[in-house]
Amino acid sequence: MAVTDDAPVTLVLTLRADFYAHCAQYDELREALEQHQELIGPMTADELRRAIAAPAERGRWEFERGLVDLILHEVGDEPGALPLLSHALLETWKRRRGRIMTLESYAESGGVRGAIAKTAENVFSQQLTPAQQVIARNIFLRLTELGEGTQATRRHAPLAELIPHPQDAPAVEAVIKLLADARLITTSEGTAEVAHEALIREWPTLRRWLDEDRQGLRIHRELTEDAQEWVKLKHDPGALYRGAIASSQPSEAWRCWPPWPRSCFWIQSDTAARHNASLAADNAAIAATAQAASAQAIRASCGASPLVPTASYWRLLATTRRFAYGM
């Protein structure tokens, strides 16, 4: 977006500190950050108290005495606690007694540390059928980006990537809607993402899924990106895999979830690799046959004078070279 002095729009971007370095690869964004930025530190205890109490007061809701202090104690100084706090307050409000959010309703929510994990586990185990649980598992895995030496983060993914086959669309869309209604994921303009990265950190079930096949998930992500690039290049054969990688066996993490174009990309890479290997083997066999035929022609045509090839030898040698090498 171009910014000028008389632009009628003021654009405000929020950026997490651990993603700040990624801005360096965009010249205009880097220059804008150099000239216009405000570094925001963690909220103080008084700011957190106002953030909790002020919205409730405006809506004429009340906290039981001691609840706000308990919440502040659980939040502490932990980085990344605000999404947990937000979800805990929502779940506490859902369990309120009249217009009062009580200590009991807060405990029922799971508190700051457990509210989002409790919500996710309840939705997964109590509201989904076994078939829907399989779909939900794959959705969460696709919406998680594994970190390289850092914590896993949430990932935007096209909704089409979450649907393995066209006939599965109604079932997958039903699970997506259920997860979105529970505020576990969000959807917008044909994409989906996990609602809070705190869910990735705090939900034991999701962490277990991620640990079960981390290498497989990385391969799945690389294959997905390469397949998307292949589509952008209008199925250019030069973008297909070559050599051993094209002949390797796909990981279970994405072999059981092969939406097009990823499966098509892999099949064509594998087919091309097998064809090239077969062609190379055929050429080697032809070359060996040609060499043997040449040697035999020398022996047969030269007789007692092997150093003086005859005309029949040269004709046979030319024929075998054209067959074997296209010469």
Residues 317 and 297 sit within 8 Å (Cβ to Cβ): yes
Sequence letter at residue 51: A
The CATH number fitting domain 126-212, selected from 1.10.287, 2.130.10, 1.10.3470, 1.10.10: 1.10.10
Residues 273 and 247 sit within 8 Å (Cβ to Cβ): yes
Q: Say what the pLDDT of residue 129 is.
A: 95
Q: Say what the pLDDT of residue 214 is.
A: 72
Q: Say what the pLDDT of residue 280 is.
A: 55
Q: Say what the pLDDT of residue 2 is.
A: 54
Q: Say what the pLDDT of residue 34 is.
A: 86
- For the stretch 253-271, pLDDT in tens is 444 444 444 444 444 444 4
Q: For the chain, how many helices (H) and strands (E)?
A: 15, 7
Extract the residue ranges of the chain whose pLDDT is less than 70: 1-7, 18, 78-80, 148-150, 215, 218-222, 224-327
Residues 300 and 293 sit within 8 Å (Cβ to Cβ): no
Peptide bond into 261 cis (omega under 30): yes
Residues 153 and 147 sit within 8 Å (Cβ to Cβ): yes
State the alpha helices, DSSP H only, in 15-129.
Answer: 27-35, 45-58, 67-75, 82-94, 103-109, 111-122
DSSP β-bridge partners for residue 97: 100
Domain boundaries, the chain: 12-41, 45-109, 126-212
> pTM above the 0.75 mark?
no
Rounded distance between C-alpha atoms, residue 180 and residue 197, angstroms:
15
